[in-house]
A and B are shown apart, each in its own frame.
Chain A
């Protein structure tokens, strides 16, 4: 039989260190739902999601009991609606957003992603219609998540889209002002978006994906934090090795669950996303891992180096543990969803500028950041442009999920509850970027030789 201390180590990880499967996400292609009549298209989408995801939640719950591992979320991602609904002769896609919301409720999942458009090189008519309907859709539904890809390393940055997303984010915040701008927590602007991301709000089922696919996102910041307590004062060689070993174990668990879900649902396994995804719960924080490496508070000098080590070691440890790795894979640094990040912002050590530097080496970008409600659309667009540039030049995914909290200012907090947590409103640079954003056009794709 297995070693008793190994068994107890696993049980303790689950019981005391918040080890869990963050999400089982079912990706569903909606290309066959195209129809010129939008009501028929919405009906086909509703029916297909309900049919394919009928057993997702009960299967997830059964796996949770048998394996004794909490599976926090069961979710659905679909083909970007700007593509799936392109044939519709209608200017308003909100009916489809409602169909997605209804289907998600019917299936019992807690989010559905894919109210999305990929516009890194330019807009189709359908992309424009979809983006125009994002604010109303996010305000009028609970479970629908939206994402827009505005840049890629191969295409450059679509600055018209960047400018547009600033106004879309502002409008979304204003339409959900009674909920602190909650709509913006369900909207991600990407550079180099991936097609198989299981995490919300940015999940969509990419065009290279099969009919249906199971992607699994693991978690486990608490387990890594605990492991680092055992190597206090040791060199970074030991720290990196410890993170790798821990990430291996976490990912193996994700792979077992992914295989079980795939087999029971009769749906092919896609990838395990090796992300360290924090929650607002104490002991489940990425910021606290960085502090465990010897930083007084996350955000101080040394934070970027600590995060770079963490992100890399998580990937190295996880890759060998899974048959297929994908998604965003790395360490997430959302502010509102991480108890340590919230503490670091409140203590004045962590600011947007430092977070931006951290996004150069983490798995995504500026995530769940609340800024003053009077922040202009142009400033938000400029923040998106900066993040996109980091992603495009460094050939990595970056994203912006920012909440211009209506009627709130620096020093206030926004409360979203649950996994979305709460966020202190952060200062943004008050100097304008209006003329820069007004230029429009495209920032060309970068050269990838002569690298310095």
Chain B
């Protein structure tokens, strides 16, 4: 399943490394990544493919939320269809 992940947080060193290594550990493939700092807030969106992972979507979702809580990152992961539907006619 293709999903869009968003990560927002107060900007600091190592956010991308932390998130990407968690994805790698779970076998989630990153297809595209884009990152910026908007008004001092670190903002990253990733297009990922969860079908390469042996974990279910629910497990990946929970692991990301847990990591978000412990490292003060606001993380969302959602199927990409929803964004395409909302922003493309």
Chain A residues within 8 Å of B, Cβ to Cβ: 1-4, 6-11, 14-15, 65-69, 249, 252-253, 255-256, 320
Q: How distant is the Cα of A15 from the Cα of B76 in the complex, in angstroms?
A: 10
Q: Which of B36-89 contact A (CB under 8 A)?
A: 36, 38, 43, 45, 47, 57-58, 61, 74, 76-87, 89
Which one of B32, B47, B58, B76 has the highest number of Cβ atoms from chain A below 10 Å of its Cβ?
B76
- Which 8 residue pairs are nearest across A and B when measured between Cβ atoms? A68-B78, A1-B32, A252-B85, A6-B87, A249-B86, A256-B85, A7-B45, A1-B47
- Hey, which chain B residues are within 8 Å of A252, CB to CB? 85-86
Q: How distant is the Cα of A211 from the Cα of B85 in the complex, in angstroms?
A: 29
**B83–A10 CB distance below 8 A:** yes
**B47–A10 CB distance below 8 A:** no
Q: Does B4 contact A (CB under 8 A)?
A: yes
**A256–B4 CB distance below 8 A:** no
Q: Which of B5-37 contact A (CB under 8 A)?
A: 6, 8, 31-32, 34, 36
Q: How distant is the Cα of A68 from the Cα of B77 in the complex, in angstroms?
A: 7
**A10–B45 CB distance below 8 A:** no
A8 touches which of B43, B77, B85 (Cβ 8 Å):
B43
- Please, could you name 6 A-B residue pairs with CB atoms under 8 Å apart, sorted by A? A2-B45, A4-B36, A8-B38, A15-B76, A67-B82, A249-B86
Which one of B8, B36, B45 has the highest number of Cβ atoms from chain A below 10 Å of its Cβ?
B45
**B47–A66 CB distance below 8 A:** no
| Other 12 A-B pairs with CB < 8 A, given A2-B47, A66-B57, A256-B81 | A1-B31, A1-B32, A2-B4, A4-B34, A6-B83, A7-B83, A9-B87, A66-B1, A249-B87, A253-B82, A256-B82, A256-B85
Q: How distant is the Cα of A7 from the Cα of B81 in the complex, in angstroms?
A: 12
- Hey, which chain B residues are within 8 Å of A9, CB to CB? 87
Min CB distance A401 to B, Å, is 32
Q: How distant is the Cα of A291 from the Cα of B45 in the complex, in angstroms?
A: 35
Q: How distant is the Cα of A2 from the Cα of B81 in the complex, in angstroms?
A: 11
- Hey, which chain B residues are within 8 Å of A11, CB to CB? 6, 8, 76
Secondary structure at the B interface, as helix, strand, loop or mixed, is: strand
Min CB distance A140 to B, Å, is 38
**B82–A2 CB distance below 8 A:** no
- Hey, which chain B residues are within 8 Å of A66, CB to CB? 1, 57, 78-79
Chain B residues within 8 Å of A, Cβ to Cβ: 1, 4, 6, 8, 31-32, 34, 36, 38, 43, 45, 47, 57-58, 61, 74, 76-87, 89
Min CB distance A450 to B, Å, is 41
- Hey, which chain B residues are within 8 Å of A67, CB to CB? 78-79, 81-82
**B78–A4 CB distance below 8 A:** no
B84 touches which of A2, A65, A68 (Cβ 8 Å):
A2
**A65–B61 CB distance below 8 A:** yes
B87 touches which of A10, A14, A68 (Cβ 8 Å):
A10
Q: How distant is the Cα of A8 from the Cα of B6 in the complex, in angstroms?
A: 8
B85 touches which of A4, A7, A68, A253 (Cβ 8 Å):
A253
- Hey, which chain B residues are within 8 Å of A320, CB to CB? 89
B45 touches which of A8, A69, A255 (Cβ 8 Å):
A8
**B86–A253 CB distance below 8 A:** yes
Min CB distance A246 to B, Å, is 10
Min CB distance B37 to A, Å, is 11
**A7–B4 CB distance below 8 A:** yes
**A1–B82 CB distance below 8 A:** no
Which one of A6, A7, A8, A65 has the highest number of Cβ atoms from chain B below 10 Å of its Cβ?
A7
- Hey, which chain A residues are within 8 Å of B80, CB to CB? 2
Q: How distant is the Cα of A65 from the Cα of B76 in the complex, in angstroms?
A: 10
**A1–B76 CB distance below 8 A:** no
Min CB distance A229 to B, Å, is 17
- Hey, which chain A residues are within 8 Å of B4, CB to CB? 2, 7
**A2–B6 CB distance below 8 A:** no
Closest to A257 in B: B82
| CB-CB under 8 A for A68 and B34, given A8-B43, A10-B87 | no
- Hey, which chain A residues are within 8 Å of B87, CB to CB? 2-3, 6, 9-10, 249
